[in-house]
């Protein structure tokens, strides 16, 4: 009985890990995503920003809709200048140097665990990390979060 319980616990731990390589991310289900080019990789500094590495990837849409949108891509660090499909889950509106900016918060299409509801409940700490970084990356008081909403096409 001890061995059965140990095996079940081991299988639970193995099934909960969801680490994907960069190549797996790039080929992930392209029909369900918006193609985005990565401009800043997670773990790297943003030029002119506070001396704290960005905890998420940032990219720009390469498709006609939503044109010129900024994307916050949650998950593993993705190499700068890679193009890959993402699955939008939320919109974040901010004032940035007195200009309204809109970020689309997204994951890779194969990550089906995270959605907007989860981002504001079970994974609210992820939303808080995104919000805190974007509220402070240019220095105190230069940016301000205005609104979060579910992503709608």
Beta carbons of 19 and 107 less than 8 angstroms apart: no
3-22 per-position pLDDT tens digit: 333 333 322 222 233 333 33
| Most distant CA pair in the chain, distance | 64
CB 54 within 8 A of CB 42: yes
Interval 18-38: pLDDT, tens: 333 333 333 333 345 789 999
DSSP string, 53-85: --SSEEEEE-SSTTTT-EEEE-SS---TT-EEE
Tokens of 96: 């940035």
Query: Whole-prediction pTM value?
Result: 0.73
Q: What is the pLDDT of residues 31-90, one digit of tens each?
A: 457 899 999 899 988 776 767 889 999 999 887 666 668 999 999 999 999 999 999 999
The tens digit of pLDDT for each residue in 99-153 reads 999 999 999 888 877 889 999 899 999 999 999 999 988 888 889 999 999 998 7
Q: Is 131 helix (H, G, I), strand (E, B) or coil?
A: helix
């Amino acid at each position: 009985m001890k061995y059965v319980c140990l095996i079940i616990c081991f299988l639970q731990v193995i099934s909960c890990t969801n680490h994907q390589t960069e190549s797996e991310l790039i080929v992930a289900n392209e029909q369900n995503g918006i193609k985005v080019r990565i401009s800043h990789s997670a773990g790297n500094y943003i030029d002119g920003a506070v001396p704290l590495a960005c905890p998420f990837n940032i990219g720009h849409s390469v498709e006609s809709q939503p044109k010129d949108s900024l994307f916050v891509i949650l998950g593993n660090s993705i190499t700068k200048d890679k193009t890959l499909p993402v699955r939008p889950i939320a919109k974040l509106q901010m004032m940035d140097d007195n200009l309204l900016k809109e970020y689309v918060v997204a994951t890779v299409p194969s990550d089906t665990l995270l959605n907007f509801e989860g981002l504001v409940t079970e994974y609210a700490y992820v939303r808080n990390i995104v919000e805190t970084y974007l509220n402070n990356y240019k220095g105190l008081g230069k940016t301000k979060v205005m609104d979060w909403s579910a992503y709608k096409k």
